[in-house]
């Protein structure tokens, strides 16, 4: 596993902390965030209903740990396309954008857990894992600037714009709130491409 410290492997359980996170993520995809139960997770792992409290302060603590894993998955899903020498900048940009929305739409429950309002003082690691995923997009924008393809400026704010666009699109689709006139069932790819093309070109009439 890539999860930092595995000092307490082969204790009573072995590595209960990670087992709980994994079982939690599994239940998350099965039952969604509403159907997520601490006791059920414990049951799945085969420990008593109070064992999780050795490793997490409360349910929120486990959720924060699961969110961290979620951001790692998101990072992995997008990382392959950024800074890929074999792809043009436009291709990289487009691929990262599609990958983000794809991840969000195929892991809606993960997104719900990831985008809760955790206290970043209490869960700094979770915050950091989110920022790491953001930085990937910021780097893409910075490279676009260096290539002379997009306007020079604050690359973080440019990344924030794209992120907001993609995130909003995914959340609206996931909530089934996008009108049929805009998007047909499961036809998100063309819309994503249209959006990033339009943001690149601008909405205003050509002067």
Partner DNA sequence: TTGCTATATTGGCACTGTCAATATAAAGAT
Partner DNA sequence: ATCTTTATATTGACAGTGCCAATATAGCAA
Radius of gyration from C-alpha coordinates of the chain: 20
Residue numbers 57-86 binding DNA by CB under 7 A: 58-60
Between 59 and 90, whose beta carbon lies closer to DNA?
59
Between 119 and 131, whose beta carbon lies closer to DNA?
119
Between 91 and 161, whose beta carbon lies closer to a second copy?
161
Q: How far apart are CA 117 and CA 171, in angstroms?
A: 16
User: How crowded is the C-beta side of 175, counted as CA atoms within 13 Å?
Assistant: 10
Between 47 and 160, whose beta carbon lies closer to a second copy?
160
User: How crowded is the C-beta side of 64, counted as CA atoms within 13 Å?
Assistant: 19
Q: Which of 15, 21, 57 is nearest to 36 (CA)?
A: 21
Closest approach, Cβ 107 to DNA, in A, equals 20
Q: How far apart are CA 167 and CA 174, in angstroms?
A: 10
Residue 203 contact among a second copy, DNA, none, beta carbon within 5 to 8 Å by kind:
a second copy
Residues that bind DNA (CB under 7 A): 8, 10-13, 16, 36-40, 42, 47-51, 53-55, 58-60
């Amino acid at each position: 596993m890539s999860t930092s410290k595995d000092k307490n492997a082969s204790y009573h359980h072995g590595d209960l902390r990670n087992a709980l996170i994994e079982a939690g993520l599994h239940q998350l995809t099965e039952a969604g965030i509403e159907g997520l139960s601490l006791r059920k997770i414990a049951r799945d792992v085969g420990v008593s209903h109070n064992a999780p409290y050795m490793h997490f302060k409360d349910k929120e603590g486990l959720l924060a740990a699961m969110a961290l894993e979620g951001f790692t998955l998101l990072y992995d899903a997008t990382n392959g396309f950024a800074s890929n020498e074999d792809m043009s900048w436009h291709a990289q940009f487009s691929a990262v954008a599609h990958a983000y929305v794809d991840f969000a739409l195929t892991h809606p429950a993960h997104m719900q857990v990831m985008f809760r309002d955790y206290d970043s003082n209490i869960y700094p690691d979770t915050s950091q894992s989110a920022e790491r995923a953001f930085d990937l997009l910021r780097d893409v924008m910075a490279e676009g600037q260096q290539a002379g393809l997009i306007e020079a400026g604050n690359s973080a704010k440019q990344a924030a714009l794209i992120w907001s666009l993609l995130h909003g699109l995914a959340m609206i689709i996931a909530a089934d709130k996008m009108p049929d006139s805009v998007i047909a069932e499961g036809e998100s790819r063309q819309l994503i491409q249209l959006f990033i093309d339009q943001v690149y070109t601008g909405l205003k009439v050509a002067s």
